[in-house]
Amino acid sequence: MNDSQVVFPGIATWEGDGTSRVPFWAYTDPDLYRLELERFFYTGHWCYVGLEAEIPNPGDFKRTAIGERSVILARDNDGAVNVVENVCAHRGVQFLRPRFGNRRDFICPYHQWCYSLKGDLQGVPLRKGVKQDGRVQGGMPPQFRNEEHGLTKLKVATRNGVVYASFDHSVPPLEEYIGPAMLEYVDRTFDGRKLKVLGYSRQRIAGNWKLMQENIKDPYHPGLLHTWFVVFGLWRADNKSQLVMDEHFRHAAMISRRGNEGMTGEATKGVSSFKQGMKLNDERFLDVVAEEWWKGPTVVMTTLFPSVILQQQVNSVSTRHIQPRGPGEFDFVWTHFGFEEDSPEMERRRLRQANLFGPAGFVSADDGEVIELAQNGFEQKPFHRTVSELGGYTCENTDHLVTETLIRGMYDYWRRVMQV
């Protein structure tokens, strides 16, 4: 490849109107990154914050994040779910520190400003001053109104046990935002059954947050990078599959059916990660039992832009929450769950298969590793660009996996919103 002599291009421009070649600076530029936070995480979009099963009782709370902003998800006494920003209206203290717990109200430790679970200011100490020698000293001015000093309240939407929130109260309704095509796949997993949280994994990955969205919009890599997927037929280029996007190309679902284990063919020819004859010493890792709610596909990986990935990989189900931390780093929080109706055997099966996923997963650990190395490459030569041209240059739904259409789709949306 021909290299530019100008490594740091100054004012960066995206050549042409295509999206098959993404400039490396789109992953490294701090100004662009802040604009992404503004336009994707803080306005116009719903972001994932958690599951209702994480806060079952009145007063239960969970601390989490939207973009870089710390927020609290709380179950109110009337059963409703509130989301407020974790910043005291008085002096800006990020007052709540535990990840989970139960509170009657939120009190900032600094000056004990007290808020209801809805985020309304209940009272402030020394409001009426201190009476001394017959005189009232200090206190808040008479114009001080509690209602002007509540916590920032977010708009909240729940759907079948999943909670989404937005700082932007003019955001379109959740169902409209997800869109009818994606809603079908979201509702497939979250169909109203009661969820049971199995636990958390947290990893900090030194890469741009978009790379994780792209990773789950990229059906090209799993059959190549992930030996387990290709050897055990879980994900291969010749599996019967579909790629579906919403009308804006921002969300996507990769839908596939498990093929035969160990079979060879075009999809494995010359693939160095394919290990013919590889057998597990303990096959309980892949003790897959088909579930009725799958309605056929053995895997549906859904990306809801910008904040979450919904995973169904055989019997393992999780949400994967993307929390950016600057252009070159994000936190990735996995919440594995099952359903209250699961038998003990099914729960054990989900936990066994969880060994494939997460920060040590047989197939997911290397995604984090590769993302970090991609970011290293971007930082090194920001003038360069990616090439996502498998399957051509355009963005459309397909009935196969041999394409990077979903990545092109995401950047089509990204360019429209970012005006880059």
Interface contacts to other proteins, rule CB under 8 A: 99-100, 197-206, 225, 227-228, 273, 275, 278, 280-282, 284-285, 331, 336, 347, 351-352, 354-355, 358-360, 362, 365-366, 368-370, 372-373
Over the chain, what HEC string results? CCCCCCCCCCCCCCCCCCCCCCEHHHHCCHHHHHHHHHHHHCCCCCEEEEEHHHCCCCCEEEEEEECCEEEEEEECCCCCEEEEECCCCCCCCCCCCCCEEECCCEECCCCCCEECCCCCEEECCCCCCEEECCEEECCCCCCCCHHHCCCCECEEEEECCEEEEECCCCCCCHHHHHCHHHHHHHHHHCCCCCEEEEEEEEEEECCCCHHHHHHCCCCCCHHHHCHHHHHCCCCCCCCCEEEEECCCCCCEEEEECCCCCCCCCCCCCCCCCCCCCCCCCCHHHHCCCCCHHHCCCCEEEEEECCCEEEEEECCEEEEEEEEECCCCCEEEEEEEEEECCCCHHHHHHHHHHHHHCCCCCCCCHHHHHHHHHHHHHHHHCCCCECCCCCCCCCCCCECCCCCCHHHHHHHHHHHHHHCC
Q: Which is nearer to other proteins, 33 or 228 (by Cβ)?
A: 228
Q: How far is the CB of 64 from other proteins (least distance, A)?
A: 14
Q: How far is the CB of 281 from other proteins (least distance, A)?
A: 3
Q: Which is nearer to other proteins, 284 or 416 (by Cβ)?
A: 284
Q: Which is nearer to other proteins, 201 or 313 (by Cβ)?
A: 201
Q: Which is nearer to other proteins, 32 or 351 (by Cβ)?
A: 351
Q: How far is the CB of 230 from other proteins (least distance, A)?
A: 10
Q: Which is nearer to other proteins, 140 or 198 (by Cβ)?
A: 198
Q: How far is the CB of 359 from other proteins (least distance, A)?
A: 4
Q: How far is the CB of 361 from other proteins (least distance, A)?
A: 9
What is residue 109's three-state secondary structure?
coil
Taking Cα atoms as reference points, which of 39, 72, 68, 71 lies closest to residue 324? 68
Q: How far is the CB of 203 from other proteins (least distance, A)?
A: 4
Q: Which is nearer to other proteins, 126 or 278 (by Cβ)?
A: 278
Q: Which is nearer to other proteins, 114 or 198 (by Cβ)?
A: 198
Q: Which is nearer to other proteins, 226 or 408 (by Cβ)?
A: 226
Q: How far is the CB of 8 from other proteins (least distance, A)?
A: 22
Q: How far is the CB of 150 from other proteins (least distance, A)?
A: 30
